[in-house]
Structure 1
Amino acid sequence: MDRVDEALEQAYRQLFGRLVGWLFRRTGDLQLAEDAVADAFASAVVAWRGKGIPDSPEAWLRVAARNSAMSALRRAARSVTVAPEDLELIPEDDVQPRELDDRLGLMLVCTHPAIDERMHAPLMLQAVLGVDAARIASAFLVSPATMGQRLSRTKTKIRDAGIRFALPPREQLTPRLDAVLQAVYGAYGIGDTVGGDGDADLRAEALRLSTLLTELLPDQAETWGLLALILHTRSRRTARVAHGAFVPLAQQDTALWSKPDRGRADAALRRAAALGQIGRFQLEAAISAIHSSRADGHDTDWDTIVVLYRGLLRIAPSVGATLGAAAALIEAGETTEAAALLDALAPEAVRDHQPYWICRAQVAQASNDDAAAHAAFDRAIGLTSDPALRRYLLSRR
């Protein structure tokens, strides 16, 4: 990758959401803001190759994005609260509190009560972090076309309803916080593929945002829970693949796990526990911490993990939580209960969900049903595109 490509990639990851938020505040049209920023980056590909990387990539992109937005507004002759000629580059501190950056501010805007709560996290992933609709669709178990249509409708509603860039009062932050946390964790998950490097920039941005949330809202336990979960997950990343094949958590070499990350994660989880507020991310982080304790010579306490999963299913039921609970129950010898959890899932929600079929195969193996295990593994392999995970599944098959 040459210097221009590196500069463009870094600028995209660091500045996309900030620029979109900056333009959205002035136009009230999220789609227009995204399109203008995308045009700015497209222009940068040509300009920076011909004239070199500017001294301030952000300033260059702001001017280009502003000009693109102004041109679009003039073409559409759209009435806006702020006239195009008033779209000036104003100092950051004149717009919002110093401690809250544009990306996090836009994430809070995306959780406006008038917006369908099912679209909060997908909208934030696209508008703030620049994740494309196809990757978002995969994370939320819908088709790319369906997700694209939903995102488009949501942005149209924001524009037509006149939802403005206005940060909610602090007392209204908590109800919106869960969607923000889900989006940040979703971003980390999308960037955290099993094989290869995945999207390191997206993972780094998710970690940066989760850290920022603990600084802005230190009295909210779930911000610390999310930070702990991301750090525990990151601590084991280098051990997940060996010799080109995926390595299950129970078989990973704990010497490869990052001790500093585990230490930070455990400290964050203790901070969350001290606040006395139980939530989804704390429970998931606690489960991850039990797995990580194997690096300190402890056996995996599957009974406690099952208890934590049962709590998670009560307060935040989801397909992912159900699959995790089923896998833990299998390890704890409760195969019948595990099968019942899987049977209760809606078929349309898991038909093309690869982790479901892996879990189905595990249940069948535990029940000594070889035919069902083979069929489930075949289905999982057919749904797997990651080479490292595919090699592992083929070996299990």
Structure 2
Amino acid sequence: MNTTEARAAAERAARTSYGRLVVILAAPTGDLMLAEDALSDAFERALRTWPEHGVPANPDGWLLAVARNRQRDVWKSAAHRTRAPLPADPGDTAPLTSPLDALDPDAIGERRLELLFVCAHPAIDAAARTPLMLQVVLGLDAARIARAYGVGAAAMAKRLVRAKRRIADTRIPFAVPGRGDLAQRLPGVLEAVYGGYAVTLTGGPEEAPLRSPDSLAGEAHYLAVTLATLLPDEPEVLGLAALISLSLARSPTRRADFVPLAEQDPAAWDTDLIADGEAYLRRASATDRLGRFQLEAAVQAVHCDRRRTAVMDWQALRTLYSALVLVAPTLGAQVALAATVGRLDGPEAGLAALPDGADLFQPAWATRAHLLAAAGRGEEAAVAFDRAAVLAVDPGTRRHLNDRAAEFRDPR
């Protein structure tokens, strides 16, 4: 086997197994940082040995065994013993002789959900809970999470380190909370699952929003649907399943060359996912509680309805985005409302509606650029398109924005 094949196998294992391997490794002590370091060492060793000896029959089991051995080395080291009390045998809770016991396929979904609920513990700083879940469970690095939140990478990295130390210091148990605590933690879990999907909308080719189960978007969709199965009476859980299903339905039209939503061919959208999303949304709407994810799912339903009507209902979008900003005034919701206002009331009104404090938020710059262009302010539009392109992760999106900037720098 060559190095390229071995690297591809390791990357597949990282995409599909990172979160559940971390929770297995961290469960005995609650030390997420050690679990991640041990797993990182295991992946490095895989890249050294798999090209020569071949990919093992069960890559996850191999990685788990190597990472556990690394943990044992650290637990037995003098530096670790002087820093924290050493359990009688940390490995006793997870015997090395049967690493595959912890990889029961029937338990995969629940193990990932367990870690999500651990990271949503109220003892962890609220500002760090969702980023922590995105990193530990879905495997995003601090820089990618920072871009999604519109903050600096260094600040996000420090936030994540503090959160992991908090889990270890307070010995937060790795278990799904009881019904009494579930409601308190559920919003953070839903936010993280959606966050994992949302980054695929602005990420590079390796994060493209594909339905494939080994993609990041597929993982988020799986977790959302699993939560909807486990909690069928929670309207926001149903709303999240609807939101991701309806958005993912348009993934066939997302390709290397960026195509704006208004120019996508609705005939190429996935009708099965649209039907699934609409069914989840109807179930959520039957309750007397309205929340963020139901509103966002309704927005996606309006977009998907263009497949039936061939027109966009901008007034419905304004109503939904206005309600969303009241319920959950995120940067994304405020920017989307500004874009809709610009479409209905004119570009200057849209520019006035853009939120402050979004200097590192790529969609805000892209929206500003389009509104400036519509307002006839070409030079300013070129600058905004340039800035949006710099902040874009996806090469196709970046090319599109650079081309738009060039149009206004050289209007001929």
TM-score (norm 1): 0.89
AA aligned to 2:362 is: Q
CA distance in 1, matches of 2:177, 2:184: 10
Greater mean alpha carbon deviation, residues 192-201 or residues 165-174: 192-201
Residue number in structure 1 paired with 2:345: 333
| Structure 1 position 202 matched with structure 2 position 211 | no
- Assess, with a 3 A threshold, how the Cα gap between structure 1 residues 354 and 60 changes in structure 2: closer, same or farther: closer
SS in 2 for 1:38: helix
Residue number in structure 2 paired with 1:386: 394
AA aligned to 2:189 is: V
AA aligned to 2:128 is: M
Q: Is the 8 A contact 1:330 1:338 kept in 2?
A: yes
| Structure 1 position 376 matched with structure 2 position 376 | no
Residue number in structure 2 paired with 1:213: 227
Deviation at residue 385 of structure 1 after TM alignment: 5.0
| Structure 1 position 280 matched with structure 2 position 292 | yes
Q: Is the 8 A contact 1:246 1:389 kept in 2?
A: yes
CA distance in 2, matches of 1:237, 1:16: 24
Greater mean alpha carbon deviation, residues 387-396 or residues 232-241: 387-396
Aligned counterpart for 1:79 among listed residues 65, 85, 109: 85
CA distance in 2, matches of 1:327, 1:213: 32
| Structure 1 position 264 matched with structure 2 position 270 | no
Deviations 1:81-128 (A, max 9, x none): 56324143375599xx96962111011000111111111111011111
Q: Is the 8 A contact 1:224 1:272 kept in 2?
A: yes
Output aligned runs, 1:7-46, within 5 Å: 7-46=9-48
AA aligned to 1:205 is: E
SS in 2 for 1:139: helix
Q: Is the 8 A contact 1:329 1:337 kept in 2?
A: yes
- Assess, with a 3 A threshold, how the Cα gap between structure 1 residues 389 and 166 changes in structure 2: closer, same or farther: closer
- Assess, with a 3 A threshold, how the Cα gap between structure 1 residues 42 and 171 changes in structure 2: closer, same or farther: same
Aligned counterpart for 1:183 among listed residues 163, 182, 192: 192
- Assess, with a 3 A threshold, how the Cα gap between structure 1 residues 391 and 167 changes in structure 2: closer, same or farther: closer
Q: Is the 8 A contact 1:106 1:128 kept in 2?
A: yes
Deviation at residue 341 of structure 1 after TM alignment: 2.3
CA distance in 2, matches of 1:113, 1:179: 10
Deviation at residue 224 of structure 1 after TM alignment: 1.6
Deviation at residue 22 of structure 1 after TM alignment: 1.4
Deviation at residue 197 of structure 1 after TM alignment: 5.2
Residue number in structure 2 paired with 1:232: 246
Deviation at residue 313 of structure 1 after TM alignment: 0.6
CA distance in 2, matches of 1:15, 1:382: 32
Q: Is the 8 A contact 1:306 1:328 kept in 2?
A: yes
Pairs aligned (count): 389
CA distance in 1, matches of 2:298, 2:322: 13
Deviation at residue 357 of structure 1 after TM alignment: 2.0
CA distance in 1, matches of 2:195, 2:340: 22
Report the RMSD for the aligned CA atoms in angstroms.
2.5
Q: Is the 8 A contact 1:211 1:227 kept in 2?
A: yes
CA distance in 1, matches of 2:198, 2:30: 30
- Assess, with a 3 A threshold, how the Cα gap between structure 1 residues 240 and 167 changes in structure 2: closer, same or farther: closer
SS in 2 for 1:27: coil
AA aligned to 2:127 is: R
AA aligned to 1:331 is: R
- Assess, with a 3 A threshold, how the Cα gap between structure 1 residues 51 and 368 changes in structure 2: closer, same or farther: closer
- Assess, with a 3 A threshold, how the Cα gap between structure 1 residues 382 and 191 changes in structure 2: closer, same or farther: closer
Q: Is the 8 A contact 1:194 1:240 kept in 2?
A: no
- Assess, with a 3 A threshold, how the Cα gap between structure 1 residues 377 and 73 changes in structure 2: closer, same or farther: same
Residue number in structure 2 paired with 1:156: 165
AA aligned to 1:363 is: L
CA distance in 1, matches of 2:349, 2:182: 38
CA distance in 2, matches of 1:65, 1:10: 17
Deviation at residue 172 of structure 1 after TM alignment: 1.5
AA aligned to 1:149 is: K
Output aligned runs, 1:37-116, within 5 Å: 37-75=39-77, 76-77=80-81, 78-80=84-86, 83-89=89-95, 91-92=101-102, 101-116=110-125
Give percent identity, aligned residues only.
41
CA distance in 1, matches of 2:349, 2:199: 30
Q: Is the 8 A contact 2:109 2:223 kept in 1?
A: no
- Assess, with a 3 A threshold, how the Cα gap between structure 1 residues 48 and 374 changes in structure 2: closer, same or farther: closer
AA aligned to 2:385 is: F
SS in 2 for 1:115: coil
CA distance in 2, matches of 1:382, 1:4: 33
Greater mean alpha carbon deviation, residues 50-59 or residues 189-198: 189-198
Deviations 1:36-68 (A, max 9, x none): 122222222233333332233232222212111
Deviation at residue 276 of structure 1 after TM alignment: 2.9
Residue number in structure 1 paired with 2:146: 137
Deviations 1:361-389 (A, max 9, x none): 33334444444434433433443453322
Residue number in structure 2 paired with 1:309: 321
Q: Is the 8 A contact 1:240 1:248 kept in 2?
A: no
SS in 2 for 1:101: helix
Q: Is the 8 A contact 1:28 1:159 kept in 2?
A: yes
Unaligned stretches of 5+ residues in structure 1: none
CA distance in 1, matches of 2:202, 2:117: 27
Deviation at residue 354 of structure 1 after TM alignment: 2.5
- Assess, with a 3 A threshold, how the Cα gap between structure 1 residues 271 and 80 changes in structure 2: closer, same or farther: farther
Deviation at residue 2 of structure 1 after TM alignment: 4.9
CA distance in 1, matches of 2:279, 2:88: 46
Unaligned stretches of 5+ residues in structure 2: none
